[in-house]
Amino acid sequence: MATSRDLNKIKGVDVSVGAGAQDTGTQRVVLASDGLPRVTPEPQTANACSTSSAIGANSDNATVVKASAGNVYAIVAFNKNASPVYLKLYNKATTPTNGDTPIKRYMIPGGATGAGFVITHPMGVSFSAGISYRLVTGIADNDNTSVTASEQLINIDYK
Range of the domain at 77: 50-158
pTM (2 d.p.): 0.72
Q: CATH number of the domain that 139 lies in?
A: 2.60.120
Tens-digit pLDDT profile for residues 19-69: 556 666 665 656 566 666 677 777 777 789 999 999 999 999 999 999 999
pLDDT value at position 147?
A: 97
Nearest residue to 86 via CA among 94, 98, 71:
98
pLDDT value at position 22?
A: 60
Q: How far apart are the first and last CA of the chain?
A: 46
Tens-digit pLDDT profile for residues 64-120: 999 999 999 999 999 999 999 999 999 999 999 988 999 999 999 998 788 999 999
Does 109 map to a domain?
A: yes
Q: How many domains in the chain?
A: 1
pLDDT value at position 94?
A: 98
User: What is the Cα–Cα distance from 138 to 26, expressed in whole angstroms?
Assistant: 71
pLDDT value at position 41?
A: 72
| Residue 32 main-chain phi, psi, to 5 deg | -60, 155
* Higher per-residue pLDDT: 104 or 12: 104
Does 114 map to a domain?
A: yes
Which DSSP string corresponds to 62-89?
-EEEESSSEEEEEEEEEE-SSS-EEEEE
Does 17 map to a domain?
A: no
User: What is the Cα–Cα distance from 92 to 116, expressed in whole angstroms?
Assistant: 25
pLDDT value at position 109?
A: 96
Does 77 map to a domain?
A: yes
With beta carbons less than 8 A apart as the criterion, state whether 131 and 89 touch: yes
Tell how far CA 72 is from the center of its chain: 6
Q: Is the pLDDT of residue 18 over 80?
A: no
Neighbours of 64 (CB within 10 A): 16
Residue 98's identity, in one-letter code, is N
